[in-house]
Structure 1
Amino acid sequence: METGSIIVSKIRGKSTACARAVDCAWIYSLTYGGGIVSGDSILCNFIVEDGCTAVLTTQASTKVFKSIGSKCSEQILEVRVGHEALLVVIPDPVTCFAAARYSQKQVFRVSSESNLLLVDWFSSGRYESGERWAFDSYRSTNNIYEDDEPLFLDTVLLKQGIGSSISERMHDYQIIAMVVILGPKLGNLRNQIQENVKSLFSSSFQVKLGTPMLKSKFSPTKPNFVASCSTFGPQGAGLIVRVAAMTTESVYQFLRLQLANLEPFVGAFPYS
């Protein structure tokens, strides 16, 4: 297993590893050779100390190559976010090639005054080349603990050979995404996104009265883009948004629009 550790801390009132006008450290996750190969196992420990702000992102989609034999590729991220600190995790999507086996686990330990924004998303594969949901298995686990008590536990698992194929289950959707927003600093952003997603959800399934179903431009059962949201935690302190879409670009556009108000915190527009 390959391991690494990153600590973002303040020295004389300014975050270390930060050269921006806004006091925020941007960290890019890179893979040698352009992707994750069969049998790779990567562990990263990440600490954002009290009062610091950090962004963890990528330069391109994380590619997972086909597995050899029964080997599975895995990534583990263990994070601690300090008091009044902010961590923004905004990677590009994971793209699993045909016959790939991939597992990732991300564990976030926060306090009631910590702030976290997490984007976790993946595609059907190289679908523009005709490779759609052809990987063997994909598993993504995201757990958040507040003061070491479980606050949010979530796992997505797609696996071939369980009843119908993954492709049959996913129909025409090529992208699955999740956004998690937590913390007092992000309260206004959370409320705005919640209202936007509710409006978007309603419009996605709306059919004009008097319009024959077969002639309707948008089918109420299969819109091109679907987003929904729900709250979690004490008094709805956290928000989770789930997205299913038919194109990668539509999700990028959604994220750029919804996360634009992060710019004052992190010094740039996410996914711009």
Structure 2
Amino acid sequence: MAKPIKKSEAAAYREVWKRKQPALRRLTGQYGSSKTEKPPTASSVMSMAWDNYINAVKADRHHGFEGRCELLATVARAFAEHRTFESMPLPLRKTIAGLPNDQESRWGWFESMQGAGYYHQAVNENNKHLSKALDRIPSRGVVSRSEYEAYIAEFLKAFPNGRHGVAIASRLLALKRPDQFVCLDSKNQRGLCRDFGIVRNGIDYDRYWDEIIERITDSPWWNSTRPRNAKEAAVWDGRAAMLDAIFYEE
């Protein structure tokens, strides 16, 4: 004999069902409001296990993966040793920002922001909103959407006249938290969007999170256990930013 369901149990079931819907939609390839016909299993990178992913990163045709690891380690030390972005010396801020400087030759790795004039000015003038924006992003733990949105809200204050964008916003994110963010720019956007099944045009701050970051954090390689091997562990610590090694095109 079937047991009658109490109203409280039915309400709890509906709440669980509602919470599961985003995950179920992602299984069909829907991230955010955009629907792609390409499910995660059809993406060569999203479906990779860790061993396949590390091999793809090591096959970097443009920059050495060890050099990439060294740059990310330098930046990680900078964030550990300096309380804020604005307290760092200018060459270090420029390195993190992807701008030319006389102390780090690899400043343009993980995408160059050299052509972003207003951004260059904001970094040169040590605009407080860039630093405050980065303060919204925790150094450890999974970054939540609300923390990301707080970052974007503060970041935009540095550009009251516009001339901002996903490329420069994601560059700073990728260097502070390379485990969760990738810098999305013209050099890697075509390959990444093709593999993920994303429409390239019109990627704004919401789509960057919904269609790119959520895909990354659903991937098997991203959810893998941190390797014991030191070199692989260095890649794992920067595993989202390292997508640039796979998708970068001259």
Shorter-chain TM-score bucket reads under 0.3
Q: TM-score, normalised by structure 2?
A: 0.25
The answer to which structure has the higher strand fraction is 1
Q: TM-score, normalised by structure 1?
A: 0.24
